[in-house]
């Protein structure tokens, strides 16, 4: 599960005060809100990439508030995907396992099969289509079997058809892995298609909608 309470983040004039929400283990949470409202900031705080002033973050029953990003076991897909351009798709998928010194060949093949990107394993990220790159970024984040998956506007750059296709991919991946997911978006369609729980970020506060 993801449990955030009393989270306070300040960056210059921008501030989030007393942000609190909870997503049950294995559920798909969607956080809605206007662009520039602080949705990405919350995800960065959950990943450990942004320091917080107050509050606590519990992921899968562990208090990770003061842990380094590497120790949080969070799969993170940023909005710009940030694929490693110098590594092949296979190496991108294997990266987290390779860093941890774990065997990766069989798992990478399995993951690629789930995501429908087996044919892309030998390719470099340059030249992948938006949907393909999205699947690779998703696979890279899931490869080390994280307990929590954080998605920052993952479908915003995709056309309508690919978007609907990706809804199916996200649903099936979540079903297979049971990973607790927080998906940040400003598209109501994403929430309707995917969410078990929906939150809205408004004026620096998070409120549950369903």
Partner 1 sequence: MKTHRGERLFYIALAVIGGTYALLVVLMIAANVAYTTPAHLETALRSPEIQASLKLTLWSCLLAAAFSLIVAVPLGYLLARTNFRGKGLLEAVMDIPVVLPPLVVGLSLLIIFNHFRIGGVSLEQWLNAHGIQFTFAVAGVVVAQFSVAAAFAVRTMRGTFEQMPARVEEVALTLGCTRWQAFKLVTLPLARRGMLAAFTVAWARSLGEFGPLLIFAGTTRGRTEVLSSSVFLELSVGRLEGAVAVSLLMIVIAVGVLLMVRMWGGDRA
Rounded distance between C-alpha atoms, residue 117 and residue 4, angstroms: 34
Residue 184, beta-bridge partner list: 31, 152
Closest to partner 1 by CB, 123 or 167: 123
**Position 11 contacts partner 1 (CB under 8 A):** no
**Position 82 contacts partner 1 (CB under 8 A):** yes
**Position 141 contacts partner 1 (CB under 8 A):** yes
Interface pick for partner 1 out of 49, 58, 60, 67 (rule CB under 8 A): 49
The CA-based angle 189-193-199, given to 5 degrees, is 75
Q: Is the dihedral of CA 205, 209, 79, 97 positive or negative?
A: positive
Closest to partner 1 by CB, 15 or 99: 99
- Tell me which stretch binds partner 1 (CB under 8 A): 6-14, 91-99, 114-122, 162-170: 91-99
Closest to partner 1 by CB, 21 or 76: 76
Q: What share of the chain is helix, strand, coil (3-state, %, to 5)?
A: 35, 30, 35
Task: Say if residues 59 and 44 touch (Cβ distance below 8 Å).
Answer: no
Q: Which parts of this chain interact with partner 1 (CB under 8 A)?
A: 44, 47-49, 68-70, 72, 74-76, 78, 80, 82, 84-86, 95-96, 99-100, 140-141, 144
């Amino acid at each position: 599960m993801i449990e955030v309470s009393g989270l306070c983040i300040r960056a210059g004039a921008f501030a989030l005060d007393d942000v609190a929400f909870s997503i049950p283990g294995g559920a798909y949470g969607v956080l809605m809100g206007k662009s520039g409202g602080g949705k990405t900031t919350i995800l960065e705080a959950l990943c450990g990439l942004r320091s917080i002033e107050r509050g606590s973050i519990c992921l899968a029953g562990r208090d990770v508030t003061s842990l380094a990003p590497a120790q949080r076991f969070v799969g993170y897909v940023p909005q710009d995907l940030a694929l490693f351009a110098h590594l092949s798709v296979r190496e991108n998928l294997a990266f987290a396992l390779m860093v941890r010194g774990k065997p990766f060949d069989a798992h990478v093949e399995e993951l690629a099969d789930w995501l429908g990107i087996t044919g892309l394993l030998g390719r470099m990220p340059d030249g992948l289509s938006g949907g393909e790159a999205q699947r690779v970024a998703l696979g890279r984040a899931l490869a080390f079997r994280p307990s929590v998956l954080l998605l920052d506007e993952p479908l915003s750059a995709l056309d309508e058809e690919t978007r609907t296709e990706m809804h199916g991919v996200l649903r099936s991946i979540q079903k297979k892995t049971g990973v607790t997911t927080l998906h940040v978006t400003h598209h109501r369609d994403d929430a309707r298609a995917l969410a078990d729980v929906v939150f809205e970020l408004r004026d620096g506060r998070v409120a549950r909608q369903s």
